Amino acid sequence: MPSDLMSRVGALVGPPHAQGMPAAQTVAVVLLAGLGALGCGAASAQETAGTRWPVPDVAPPKTELALEAYVTLSPAVEVGTSDAGTRRFIPITGGRFVGEGIKGEVMSGGADWQLVRPDGVLEVHALYSLKTDDGAVIVVENDGVIVPGKPAANGAPAAAPYVRTVPKFHAPQGKYDWLNKTVFVGGIGAGAGGGAVVIRVFRVL
């Protein structure tokens, strides 16, 4: 990531509180999990790659930071127990975002709709809008999961939760429509002082 963007991000939001593993590792985990579902362990899949059938040279995906947002929130509104678990939503009240060649405000009026499943996993579905400094409005759908980490036990520290999302952008045609043509992965951390989160969005190359 260019040093000038790092400086602008730091000035905007301060040091983010990252959780979970880096995004590039997250993508690798997802891919390996898919192979496991086909009956191949991660190690055996790696060892036998390309020996079962002819394959092209498919490089593992890489990522780069596309943008970072500081999003302010209102207190959660509890819906209660429903068809698939316990539901609540968290209103989005504003914020700022900055990335390479794009910056602006997080518009108020969106929300993060959450479902606590019976297995303890939290599903998130955020729907909100960004407005760039040059006036473009971009709709964001950000779906993901938050899996609680294992508690501390037998002298071992508690594990950090797994927090990953797959943001999808709906930008108008023109300067920012590259957002409509790219796959992204994201992470969420608590903002300093509470009442906000830091969202980091990575472009999958």
pTM score, whole prediction: 0.72
How many other β-carbons are positioned within 10 Å of the β-carbon of residue 170? 13
Positions in the chain whose pLDDT score sits under 50 = 1-3, 5-42
Amino acid residing at 22: P
Query: Do residues 104 and 130 make contact, with C-beta atoms less than 8 angstroms apart?
Result: yes
Furthest-apart CA atoms within the chain: distance in Å: 56
Domains of the chain are 3-150+159-204 (2.40.160.20)
What are the tens digits of pLDDT across the range 83-109?
999 999 999 999 999 998 999 999 999
Give the pLDDT confidence score for residue 44 in this predicted structure. 59
What are the residues facing 105 on neighbouring strands? Answer: 96, 131
Nearest residue to 132 via CA among 102, 173, 95, 162: 102
Closest CA to 129 of 170, 68, 186: 170
Kindly state the tokens that stand for 91. Answer: 């209103």
pLDDT computed for residue 193 by the predictor: 81
Q: How far apart are the first and last CA of the chain?
A: 13
Beta bridge partners of 133: none
Q: How far apart, in whole angstroms, are the C-alpha atoms of residue 99 and residue 6?
A: 9
The residue to which tokens 């830091």 are assigned: 198
